[in-house]
Structure 1
Amino acid sequence: MTLLRTALAVAAARGAGVRAGDVLREHPPGGPGRWERTNHAGRPVTLLEGPVATAAVTAGALTAGPRWAGAAALAATGAAGFGALDDLTERRGERDAGARGLKGHLAAARRGRLTTGAWKVLGIGATGLAAAAVVERPRTPAAALDTLLGGALVAGCANLLNLFDLRPGRAAKVAAVAAACLTTGPGARPARPLAGAVVGACSVVLPDDLAGRSMLGDTGANALGAVLGVAALARWRRQGRAVALGVVVGLTLASEKVSFSRVIEAQPLLRELDRLGRP
């Protein structure tokens, strides 16, 4: 039954993603220019991949068991919505002025200015907490603690995956590998359909992403990361979630000091995997 549900999640994600891509290319909200950006190589890309990934992973997640489908859909759409806020309304020059990363956004908040990135962090935190509450239904102190821990993990995963969206295909590859890892070992059964939704969504967006025609942006990376977070809730109980959160927080804090791109380029195996599939 789990295998069938997982296969259904992959198929639903792929079907919804292909359909969403067709519709959005024909009728991009606000016109195609609203979604155009310049990538790390100075080439034009479209951020429409983000809504495509969101539609795909949400459709796939809805095939999961009743306990997890609603939480994953809420996490994905909430994270995508606040990601889109940052993608589409970020003030010109805000990043160049230092408002990037958690440190930059917190510094701006201390000066009395909430950046779109700060709103995104707050919003994803709130929707992650809401998704965890759907799963845990906190009516006791222990359940309330699990809800806080789970909400932090969902939000942390959404934010962390976005930190990898710096080169063509990187974030989608990381998401697919993380999803595969969540399907192995004891207790992995409930996580498999959610992981399947992530893999299905990644399979839709990877070709254009690797080719440098589009990118996930905050919208898509946050959505995929949030569903990975819910899959982690399905995979582990309190101790495992605490360990996973520790890893997520550690990597996020490390990103403030160390460039992931430099680390990847310095390791031959990681470098080859990172470049795999690019022209």
Structure 2
Amino acid sequence: MSLLDLAVPAAVGAAATTVATAVLEGRAPGGRGRWDRTNFAGRTVTLLGGAAAGAGATAAPLVTAAGQGRGGRIATAAALAAGAGAAMGLVDDLGERDSRTKGLRGHLGALRRGELTTGALKILGIGAGALAAAAVATPRGAAPAVRAAETLAGAALVAGTANLHNLFDLRPGRALKVAAVVSAPLALSAPATAHGTLAATALGVAGAALPDDLAERTMLGDTGANAVGALVGTALAAHPSRPLRATALAGLVALTLLSERVSFSGVIESNAVLRRLDALGRRAG
């Protein structure tokens, strides 16, 4: 294993996010006030950090592939998925929210009634981006029925991972820690592969965004959480092991269904180990 095989894509992910942060902080579209929000602790934070993470997650795979001269197809899939996650998350972050409609079930229920909430639009947009990404990433050569099944499973994996990161983004640093926990073993176990390179890139993006998120200067919002999650999801979908992909998808489905009934924050707070890991590095008080 070459350290460069991990360090280069991680550095590109971190650099892309850092540059995007500087650009957005220097000239916030619509003015800084448009991006200010109140977080769970009542502090004013900015969504510009999430927008920067979304931009980094979208651009970094393409930059890495161009620099290495390989992996262009998977990098394009990752950019499609992360770009859709960032764009649709931004619509939800900056749009008018209906506080009565919450969760996947709520937004889909509203859609069945003919109501297009920003949350439902996000679900449709991220789903479309995930499907396009999976279609690009799925290898050619298999029978049409097999390829179609692999594409649909890959799309579900990408969209589900994007949604899961958003579900965890209820406390500073939590979603980025989840991204790191999933990405690290993928990167370490398979450097210089397409999925390992994407996972290392996700680590770089998460690492660059984490300090400001933990310090409660910024927040990921849907924009950052969905984009970073989609990047991690593409790394999972590009993994060559079908059993691993199937296990990951089953876990995503189970956690998504569980989130409709159980508070992840409540589960974390009730477990001493998870509570300490969750609070690690976070601003005191």
Q: Is 2:190–2:196's contact at 8 Å kept on the other side of the alignment?
A: no
Counterpart in 2 of 1:55? 55
Matches of residues 174-253 of structure 1 in structure 2 within 5 Å? 174-185=178-189, 189-253=193-257
Change (3 A) 1:6 1:58: farther
Match of 1:151 among 139, 143, 155: 155
Cα separation, 2, equivalents of 1:232 and 1:188:
15
Cα separation, 2, equivalents of 1:57 and 1:190:
15
Q: CA deviation at 1:6?
A: 2.8
Identical columns (%): 56
Q: Is 1:175–1:199's contact at 8 Å kept on the other side of the alignment?
A: yes
State the AA in 1 paired with 2:60: G
Q: Is 2:134–2:154's contact at 8 Å kept on the other side of the alignment?
A: yes
Q: Is 1:60–1:200's contact at 8 Å kept on the other side of the alignment?
A: no
Is 1:29–2:29 an aligned residue pair? yes
Deviations 1:136-170 (A, max 9, x none): 26671111110011011101100111001000111
State the AA in 2 paired with 1:171: A
Counterpart in 1 of 2:112? 110
When normalised by structure 1's length, the TM-score is 0.93
- Structure 1: gaps spanning 5 or more residues: none
Counterpart in 1 of 2:81? 75
Q: Is 2:6–2:191's contact at 8 Å kept on the other side of the alignment?
A: no
Cα separation, 1, equivalents of 2:81 and 2:236:
13
Q: Is 1:53–1:202's contact at 8 Å kept on the other side of the alignment?
A: yes
Cα separation, 2, equivalents of 1:181 and 1:54:
22
Cα separation, 1, equivalents of 2:138 and 2:193:
18
Cα separation, 2, equivalents of 1:3 and 1:278:
29
Partner SS, residue 45 of structure 1: strand
Partner SS, residue 168 of structure 2: coil
Q: CA deviation at 1:229?
A: 0.8
Match of 2:277 among 244, 250, 273: 273
Alignment root-mean-square deviation, CA: 1.8
Counterpart in 2 of 1:4? 4
When normalised by structure 2's length, the TM-score is 0.91
Aligned residues: 275
Q: CA deviation at 1:56?
A: 1.9
Deviations 1:204-251 (A, max 9, x none): 111111011111100000011101111002224433222211100110
Cα separation, 2, equivalents of 1:174 and 1:186:
19
Cα separation, 1, equivalents of 2:255 and 2:77:
25
